Chains A and B, each alone.
Chain A
Amino acid sequence: MPRRLRWKTRLFAVLVILSNALGNFSLKWGMERQALLTLSPLDYIRAIFSPWVMLGISLLILWLLTRMALLSWADLSYVLPVTSLGYVASVLIGRFFLSEQITPQRWAGTLLIVGGTVLVGMGSPHSGAES
């Protein structure tokens, strides 16, 4: 893989992780302050136009676009595990900003995800599809 593409890949991976973690936090923060959703579309429309949920959605749209761009040159089997660092960020956000109880199992699971992500990141982001 050319040096330019390698740096572009790292930059987009960071953007994908950050926009996902912050987007999920805003969404959770906003949804907690909404009435419990039913199947009515009105509930969703009301929730979507509240400020925190809207911020969350904007960040998640940024996540979608940067991730789509990343998928155009890197394999799905690389993109998914690498960006799963966003899951770890969400656990940390849950613990420190949302006062969620994180059991030892959840912490162990977080470490396993980090380990798995590092292993995957050591490989080349582009293996090329088999013909």
Chain B
Amino acid sequence: MKAWLLLGVIVASTVSADLLQSREMKRHGEVRELRRLGALARNNRLILAIAFMAVSFFAFMALVQVADLSFAVPASAATLVIETVLARVVLKERVDSRRWVGACLVACGVALLAQ
């Protein structure tokens, strides 16, 4: 039960962080030099994204203590399905049918791994 609760915290905070991160990094444009990433540290939305990632990470630290790594890591991929849908709906990315099928296969895989 504790593992599923921690997983819920991980999924919700990861989805929020990834959406914020992707939108802000796209607004910035392609990163050509890694040291340029430092300049992004003052972006409030990226700071919020990092805060969500921190919550997700602390929950993950607790999760690997009570569950197998071969459960904890794949189970956290449950975020992927929600994120593919939100990438289409919120970020307006074009998600072609091959990517949809791929994401669905990954989702089925995660469901099996979690058993």
Name A residues whose Cβ lies closer than 8 Å to a Cβ of B: 5, 24-25, 27-28, 31-32, 34, 36-37, 44, 47, 53, 60, 64-65, 68-69, 71-73, 75-78, 80-81, 84, 86-88, 90-91, 93-95, 98, 100-103, 105-106, 108-120, 122-123, 127-130
Contacts and interface: CB of A to CB of B under 8 A. Distances in A.
A101 B113 CA distance: 12
A71 B22 contact: yes
A106 B96 contact: no
A127 B111 CA distance: 28
Given A64-B53, A69-B31, A116-B102, 13 more contacts: A24-B73, A27-B64, A28-B72, A44-B58, A65-B37, A68-B21, A76-B87, A87-B73, A90-B69, A119-B102, A123-B98, A127-B94, A130-B94
B104 A116 contact: yes
Contacts of A105: 112-113, 115
Nearest to B40: A68
Contacts of A91: 69-70, 73-74, 113
Interface of B: 18-19, 21-22, 25-26, 28-31, 34, 37, 53, 57-58, 60-62, 64-66, 68-74, 76-77, 79-80, 83-84, 87-88, 91-96, 98-99, 101-115
Q: Per DSSP, are chain B's interface residues mostly helix, strand or loop, or mixed?
A: helix
A103 B70 CA distance: 10
9 nearest A-B pairs in the assembled complex, by CB-CB distance: A112-B109, A116-B105, A94-B70, A109-B112, A109-B113, A119-B102, A120-B102, A116-B106, A90-B73
Contacts, number: 193
A86 B70 CA distance: 11
B5 to A, nearest CB: 12
B37 to A, nearest CB: 6
B69 A129 contact: no
A111 B109 contact: yes
Contacts of B66: 36
A131 B57 CA distance: 34
Contact of A115 (B25, B84, B105): B105
B74 to A, nearest CB: 4
Contacts of A101: 68
B52 to A, nearest CB: 12
